[in-house]
Structures are given as C-alpha cells and as structure tokens.
Amino acid sequence: MCTETFLRLPEEKRGRFLEAAWGEFTRVKFSDASINQIVRHAGIPRGSFYQYFADKEDLFAYLLQSVREQFVQLFARLLEENGGDIFQMQLAVYDRISQEMDPGQLRDRFIQVLLLNPGMDLKQLIIGDPDASAAPLIGKIDLSMLRRKDPAFVRSTLLLTSVVVMPAVMDSLTCPERRTERRREMEEQLEIIRDGACRKGMCPWKEHKRRKV
C-alpha cells in the first residue's frame, strides 16, 4: 500500500498522481501498464514513484481498495434503503451498478478494468477480504429473516449472495443486451439461497447429518 510520504502530499498533487494511474490502468491491461507513462502524465520524476509505492502491483492494489470502499458504502446504503434485507439489497446492487451508478467515475473505471483484464477475479475486486468488507454491513442486516444470527452465518449468507450477484453484474456490463435475462436468473439463484432447493421435508442430507450427530 501507499507510504506515509504519499499520504503527506498536497491533495492536488496526490489527486493528479492517482488520476494518471487510473488513466494508465484503464488504457491498457494491467500487465502492459507502464510506470513511465504514469509518472509522465503525473508530471513527477520516476524516482518519486518509488517514494509513494513499492511497484505497480502496490499502486493497483491501492486503487482497487478505493473501489472496494466505495462499493461497501453503496452496499450499506442499499441495505438501509431495503430495510436490512440482504436479498433485496443484492438485487438493488445489480440494478444500481448495471444501470445507474455514477457514470463519470467509478462505474466507467470499473467496467474498463474488467474489460481490459478478463481473467480478473470479480469477487476479489469488489469484496476483497470478506471479513473486512462484511464488518460495516453486519449491523445493518435484518437478522429476523435469517434462521441463525451468529456473525459467521450472517457473513456466509452475505458472501453467498455476493457470489451470485458478481458474475451477473459482470455479464450486464459486458453484454448489456442480457441485462434483463441475467436479472431473472439472479433472482432465481437468490431465491434458492433464501428458501433452499429442496421441497419441504425432502432434504435427506439433513436427516443423515442428524443421525451422524
């Protein structure tokens, strides 16, 4: 991550550097991104780069962390708007990112990074450390709708629903014509997580688990 030297830079100089970095990482895929291009557009000596970050991987991780923080803020806001309902929140996340979200900044950069780096782990990009990302959200979740209320179970539910939503989001961004179809598929998958796939009384694995205990 960034050094104290970077954090102490004047806001204007720090912002210019980050804009140059975003410009490079949204111009070419990560493996082709050039530190020389970043420092040239930022108007700083190459040596200054290494006073701020260890390497381009370090800088890219810093930028992605800023994206994750904005996504967590979005999730928290949508949880509140949907009364703490995890499942409705995830549908709202899909709608907001695929259709509306700040077209001038986060959404455009997010789409471009995905398009340039098709093998990138989308869950890692948005969620990162599941525990750290879930922490600000746990207290906003309506626990009355969950069959267990311990933090580990709540985190697992949040992660499972996110795993459903992330590929759908990526599909909606790269193939906008499938947006409606992918939302229907995602609703069904979220319903399976919420209600289970077995008919009532028809889950033999549960009975087997009880016998083992």
Average pLDDT score over residue span 128-150? 84
Q: What is the pLDDT of residues 37-76, one digit of tens each?
A: 999 999 999 999 999 999 999 999 899 888 888 888 888 9
Q: Which two three-digit tokens encode residue 15?
A: 């912002």
- Between CA 113 and CA 68 the distance in angstroms is 13
Considering only residues 125 and 1, tell me which one the structure prediction assigns the higher pLDDT.
1
- Between CA 92 and CA 75 the distance in angstroms is 9
Lowest-confidence segment of 54-58, 119-123, 162-166 by average pLDDT: 119-123
**Short-list 85, 81, 173, CA closest to 126:** 173
Average pLDDT score over residue span 107-128? 75
Assign 3-class secondary structure to 158-190: HHHHHHHHHHHHHHHHHCHHHHHHHHHHHHHHH
- Between CA 89 and CA 134 the distance in angstroms is 14
Between the two ends of the chain, the Cα-to-Cα distance in Å is 47
DSSP state of 98: I
- Contact 172/180 with Cβ under 8 angstroms? no
Average pLDDT score over residue span 3-21? 96
Q: Which two three-digit tokens encode residue 41?
A: 């557009």
Considering only residues 89 and 127, tell me which one the structure prediction assigns the higher pLDDT.
89
- Contact 127/68 with Cβ under 8 angstroms? yes
DSSP state of 141: S
CA distances from 182 to 71, 142, 200, 212 (A): 20, 26, 27, 39
Backbone φ, ψ for residue 201 (5° rounding): 80, 5
CA distances from 180 to 50, 85, 87, 172, 187 (A): 46, 22, 17, 8, 11
Helix (H, G, I), strand (E, B) or coil at 29: coil
Residue recorded with tokens 């990526």: 170
